[in-house]
Amino acid sequence: MTRLHDDPASFSDDALAGFLDAHAGRVVGVPGGVVRARATREGKVAVVVGGGSGHYPAFCGVVGPGYADGAVVGNVFTSPSASEAASVARAADAGAGVLLTTGNYAGDVMNFGLAVEHLRGEGHDARYLAVTDDVASAGPDEVAKRRGIAGDVTVFKCASAAAEEGLDLDGVEQAACRANDRTRSLGVAFSGCTMPGADEPLFRVPEGSMSLGLGIHGEPGVSDEDMPSAADLARQLVEGLLREAPEGADGGRVAAVLNGLGTVKYEELFVLWRTVARLLSEAGLEVVEPEVGELVTSLDMGGVSLTLMWLDEDLERWWRAPADTPAYRKGSVADLVQGSERSAADAARAAAPPPDEESGGSPQSRSLAPDVVRGAEAVAAAMADAEEELGRIDAVAGDGDHGRGMVRGTGAALDAAREAQSRGRGAGGVLRAAGGAWADRAGGTSGVLWGAALTAVGTRVGDDARPSPADVVDAVDAGMDVLLRLGGAQVGDKTMLDAIEPFRTTLRERVEAGDDLPAAWDAAATAAQEAGRATADLRPKVGRARPLAERSIGTPDAGATSFGMVVRTVTGLLRD
Amino acid sequence: MTRLHDDPASFSDDALAGFLDAHAGRVVGVPGGVVRARATREGKVAVVVGGGSGHYPAFCGVVGPGYADGAVVGNVFTSPSASEAASVARAADAGAGVLLTTGNYAGDVMNFGLAVEHLRGEGHDARYLAVTDDVASAGPDEVAKRRGIAGDVTVFKCASAAAEEGLDLDGVEQAACRANDRTRSLGVAFSGCTMPGADEPLFRVPEGSMSLGLGIHGEPGVSDEDMPSAADLARQLVEGLLREAPEGADGGRVAAVLNGLGTVKYEELFVLWRTVARLLSEAGLEVVEPEVGELVTSLDMGGVSLTLMWLDEDLERWWRAPADTPAYRKGSVADLVQGSERSAADAARAAAPPPDEESGGSPQSRSLAPDVVRGAEAVAAAMADAEEELGRIDAVAGDGDHGRGMVRGTGAALDAAREAQSRGRGAGGVLRAAGGAWADRAGGTSGVLWGAALTAVGTRVGDDARPSPADVVDAVDAGMDVLLRLGGAQVGDKTMLDAIEPFRTTLRERVEAGDDLPAAWDAAATAAQEAGRATADLRPKVGRARPLAERSIGTPDAGATSFGMVVRTVTGLLRD
């Protein structure tokens, strides 16, 4: 059980506040996360790690000399937003660029990917790497689909040490890639974790059983079996990883992390390590500076994972390199050149986005802005009505938060749209402001997709002329293109794309056939809603493990449903 | 649940083996525990900490420069034996003496106290301090009865830093006493812990409740209440400690440890710390380098404790001083002078007791040795028969292991007695060998008491003349004196003393009245057995919390019962 909290909704903020107080002098808070209290030294590449909360000491616990320059801190098990990631990266960047890196989860990939786009637009050199160490989450032919679990530790550590050595951003990125290519993890779960304030665990493992390959947020495992002895478990983990040894990695030296996921005691980990160490030695591997302890946790989940990184000379040097962070210390960092101390206020100034250079719109475009705001009002009201229904649909194969996310996102978009209109922005500026707020505040993957799409639509609409029906068609396409690039899904994968594709196709066809915009939009919205309902019969979403996703056959996709609702809501406004 | 183990009986040994492998280069194993891999530098006082296992990182996790020189490692929740404590202390001693220190528990107090006697006898300067920080375990008028919980951290750390500064043994002992005098802790439990291999937790806290003041081995708390919010719990803990602020400690600066007992997550501790920090600040206290994390655990128990040490200038310097151990690192220890590296074999040689200088006994005394061995055989056989019955009696108010402990102890005593006889020892030498083995191998408090008493009896019996009945009476008295000194109990406290006292009184009276030894012993054994049965009506044992102890009214004391059995068994042999 997770038992200690005040308002469960502010759990991760409250934990972060306590963490910053307990480790004052080592780290300072910035909007979106934490950075080192002594600034990254001028000219050193910054490494920014991150992801949702609930995994302490991942990720804020490893910020400090020799390790990360900053950590982006999301809500429990929820990706931080793109603007949070960009904020921490700005504060960490010391002029030599930033490598952002997270475990490979859809929300993190989208938000950090979007942050990299923002950062580049602002003149920061930025890269992104998603760690893919979990061999249980996809086969060797689909390595890029693997999740990141405790392999974060070896990858983040090597990238950070390479940066301390003075490598440039290309070099640091290559170090991270090499570490990731040579890192493999396999985990097991004995019991589920409980979200703060919840009465029931997020998932259950039957008492006396073990689930092999279960993910750190309860993603289903590959098999359930009786709880083995420590020695038998050691054998399963070691054999499972040795089968996956990377090609060409035959140096015989490995870094190892035996990681406890939350409620497994250190003494139990040591009992397990005793046999793991023997088996690795019998397999001819020499273990270099093993870590046995809690490094990437999952709230109060019972479980362990074993990570191996097959070393070469560089990786071994980076793995052994000193570090001094709140939760991970090794060797002496006295020789590491560090930057000057800075206050939280200084760090926050560095984290701030560049000043808003948006100019006001043309009179024609500004005259459209109130219509955009009315649209935002109508959509927010519709989502408030639909919150429960969307949550119910999403709960069949997801975590049931889609309705809540749409309400938060459309509410934030409305506030931002009103504010942008009051500052004299044109239609495009109002749409971009709404998109940015939606991406920042909705949480989850649909929020960042809606936000990025709306921002792209706003950019295409612009702030000068009143857009023609053809311009609207092009703007919808621009939004769709962003979705495809960030989301990584295809039409037919049972996602919101399945509703957007017929929407944009119909819209273009009808506009090109000479319909007026309200009529074309009406037809396109109908097509979207029909397609949304039809997702009920589609195959399960990509990236979801089968047993969970198969429950969703016969249920429409929540994202496709909400898309249909949104565009239907707008139809009425276009007629007025 | 504690789930990972191989043979539960060897859990702590297996965990220790894994720990030593994972931290090779930092620590080496010696019989009874671990010492630093780089020897304590010549002339520095050694600090040896210890206690039962199940509390990691206490105690082996804090061995290293700046912190402890060695840790004695017992079985789960069980005191190490006196000879284990002496073994580690010998390996740690660098010629300037050793401070041994543990939490204040009967078993640790007896075994470490006995170890100090052994060490002094061998020419080591040795002292012992029991930490008494837990304000919930006894009132301010009985501070010496308080348990040691996470206050171990502040006391051990300050003693260790004082030793690194070069203080002599008096100075280090005074540093530890000062830290202990100024340290207070208060803990709460949310859920019980499970012993390795057990199906059920050792104790339970009703779901949704919290037990205030519950001990780290399930010792009952002072009150049960509904689970509070983190902020309310912070208030209870802070107010509970501020009420107990040590006299004269008004400097306004405190060290603080917010300790997780096992399954409470770091994020939860940080949420709690947020309010603790604010309340301490509002109370005018400045917190110096707080520790928030798992420092003294209790297997997988759910619970937290807050420890404050009111600082003076020395304590603050010692608290801030650098340390570099497997589980606790702070600052840089580069400036600490360290001794040379040593192998496990070197460390084990240093840990070995001095060579056995026992000479063979006189022919008369040697002729008695076979009778002593026959006595040991009969007693071991009697205990094997009585194991179940003694376990049942003990389970009413204790942990039910008394029968098992007596079987282990008398079996070890028999083996040692046979071996000593085979080497030509006299009666006294055989008794001393049996006593030493009993103390080492029985486990629990009764083992060390029986062992120490038998050793004292053997010393009084000697290895020269055949003892007269008056010598036997004196020898029994010598054993009883040791029991009184080490055990800290009084006649009437419902312990084995209640059977021993009438035994020795009757034995002396009857011998002085002119009875032969068999007749006097017979009468004394009858008195002991009657007194043992009479303990059923006595008040609960001292040191036990009421609710548990009251169950034992109507049940005889297991230790008094087994004493009666042992002396009755010997009666038959004396007649032959």
Residue from B169, B135, B12, B168 nearest B84 by CA: B12
Average model confidence (pLDDT) across chain B: 91
Q: Who among A57, A274, A329 is closest to B21 (CB)? A: A274
Q: What is the C-alpha separation between B439 and A20, in angstroms, rounded?
A: 49
Residue A340 CB neighbour total at 10 angstroms? 9
Residue A313 CB neighbour total at 10 angstroms? 9
| Burial status of residue A371 (CB atoms within 10 A of its CB: 0-12, 13-18, 19 or more) | middle
Determine the pLDDT at residue B230. 97
Decide if B267 and A15 are in contact by the 8 Å CB cutoff: yes
- Same domain as B318, residue B181: yes
3-state secondary structure of B527: helix
Q: First vs last Cα of chain A: how many Å apart? A: 54
- What CATH code is carried by the domain that includes residue A267? 3.40.50.10440
DSSP letters of B115-162?
Answer: HHHHHHHTT--EEEEEE--BTTSS-GGGGGGPPPSTHHHHHHHHHHHH
Pick from A115-129, A285-299, B61-75, B359-373: least confident: B359-373
Q: Which tokens hold the place of B60? A: 């082996």
Instruction: Give the residue on A whose Cα is nearest the Cα of B12.
Output: A267
- What CATH code is carried by the domain that includes residue B435? 1.25.40.340
3-state secondary structure of A313: helix
Q: What is the C-alpha separation between B268 and B233, in angstroms, rounded?
A: 12
Q: What is the C-alpha separation between A151 and A136, in angstroms, rounded?
A: 13
Determine the pLDDT at residue B59. 95
Q: How far is CA B212 from CA A486, B187, B264, B344, B398, in A?
A: 51, 6, 16, 43, 21
Q: What is the C-alpha separation between B108 and B195, in angstroms, rounded?
A: 19
Chain B residues near residue A1 by CB distance under 8 angstroms: 190-191, 302
Amino acid at residue number B82? A
Chain A residues near residue B281 by CB distance under 8 angstroms: none
Q: State pLDDT tens for residues A26-56.
A: 999 999 999 999 999 999 999 999 999 999 9
Q: What is the C-alpha separation between B470 and B460, in angstroms, rounded?
A: 11
Instruction: Give the residue on A whose Cα is nearest the Cα of B208.
Output: A3
In angstroms and rounded to an integer, the radius of gyration of the C-alpha atoms of chain B is: 24
Q: Specify whether the CB–CB gap between B60 and B16 falls below 8 A.
A: yes
Q: Which tokens hold the place of A189? A: 């779960």
The verdict on residue A351 lying in a domain is no
Average pLDDT over residues A488-505: 86
Q: Is residue B371's pLDDT more than 60?
A: yes
Determine the pLDDT at residue B557. 86
- Same domain as A225, residue A177: yes
Decide if A329 and B329 are in contact by the 8 Å CB cutoff: yes
Residue from A388, A408, A227 nearest A302 by CA: A227
Residue from B47, B94, B43, B51 nearest B325 by CA: B47
Average pLDDT over residues A380-394: 91
The verdict on residue A557 lying in a domain is yes
A/B interface, count of CB pairs below 8 Å: 171
- Same domain as A488, residue A412: yes
3-state secondary structure of B428: helix
Determine the pLDDT at residue A353. 87
- Same domain as A368, residue A313: no
The verdict on residue B300 lying in a domain is yes
The verdict on residue A337 lying in a domain is no
- Same domain as A484, residue A433: yes
A277, A306, A325: which is the final residue of a domain? A325
Q: Is residue A498's pLDDT more than 70?
A: yes
Q: State pLDDT tens for residues A82-132.
A: 999 999 999 999 999 999 999 999 889 989 998 998 899 899 999 999 999
Select, from the ranges A113-127, A279-293, B242-256, the one with the highest average predicted confidence (pLDDT): A279-293
Average pLDDT over residues B179-188: 97
Determine the pLDDT at residue B164. 97
Determine the pLDDT at residue A215. 85
Q: What is the C-alpha separation between A252 and B556, in angstroms, rounded?
A: 63
Q: State pLDDT tens for residues B538-549.
A: 765 544 344 444
Decide if B265 and A6 are in contact by the 8 Å CB cutoff: no
Decide if A332 and B334 are in contact by the 8 Å CB cutoff: yes
Residue A347 contacts by C-beta under 8 Å, 6 or more apart in sequence? Answer: A28, A29, A30, A35, A39, A91
Q: Who among A4, A273, A299 is closest to B272 (CB)? A: A4
Range of the domain at B210: 8-331
- Same domain as B467, residue B327: no
Q: Who among B5, B191, B271 is closest to A4 (CB)? A: B271
Determine the pLDDT at residue A551. 60
- Same domain as A377, residue A300: no
Q: Specify whether the CB–CB gap between A461 and A475 falls below 8 A.
A: yes
Q: How far is CA B85 from CA A398, B102, B441, in A?
A: 56, 11, 13
Residue A576's pLDDT band, with cuts at 50, 70 and 90, is low
Q: What is the C-alpha separation between A26 and A55, in angstroms, rounded?
A: 20
Decide if B4 and A329 are in contact by the 8 Å CB cutoff: no
Determine the pLDDT at residue A491. 83
What's the number of CA atoms in the CB half-sphere (13 Å) around residue B187? 34
- Same domain as A367, residue A267: no
The verdict on residue B203 lying in a domain is yes
Q: Between B467 and B101, where is the model more confident?
A: B101
Catalytic residue among A23, A55, A118, A217: A217
Residue A276 contacts by C-beta under 8 Å, 6 or more apart in sequence? Answer: A234, A237, A238, A256, A258, A306
Q: What is the C-alpha separation between B108 and B214, in angstroms, rounded?
A: 19
Q: What is the C-alpha separation between A227 and A233, in angstroms, rounded?
A: 8
Average model confidence (pLDDT) across chain A: 91
The verdict on residue A355 lying in a domain is no
Alpha helices in A122-224 (DSSP H): 151-164, 169-181
Q: Between B430 and A202, where is the model more confident?
A: B430
Determine the pLDDT at residue A545. 41
The verdict on residue B341 lying in a domain is no
The verdict on residue B158 lying in a domain is yes
Average pLDDT over residues A394-414: 86
Q: Is residue A158's pLDDT more than 50?
A: yes
ipTM > 0.85 (yes/no)? yes
Q: Which tokens hold the place of A130? A: 């998603």
A306, A325, A344: which is the final residue of a domain? A325
Q: Between A139 and B176, where is the model more confident?
A: B176
Q: State pLDDT tens for residues B2-16.
A: 889 999 889 999 999
Determine the pLDDT at residue B447. 87
Determine the pLDDT at residue A152. 96
Q: What is the 3-state secondary structure (H, E, C) of A472-497?
A: HHHHHHHHHHHHHHHHCCCCCCCCCH
Q: Which tokens hold the place of B29? A: 């194993």
User: What is the domain count for chain A?
Assistant: 2
Q: What is the C-alpha separation between B287 and B281, in angstroms, rounded?
A: 8
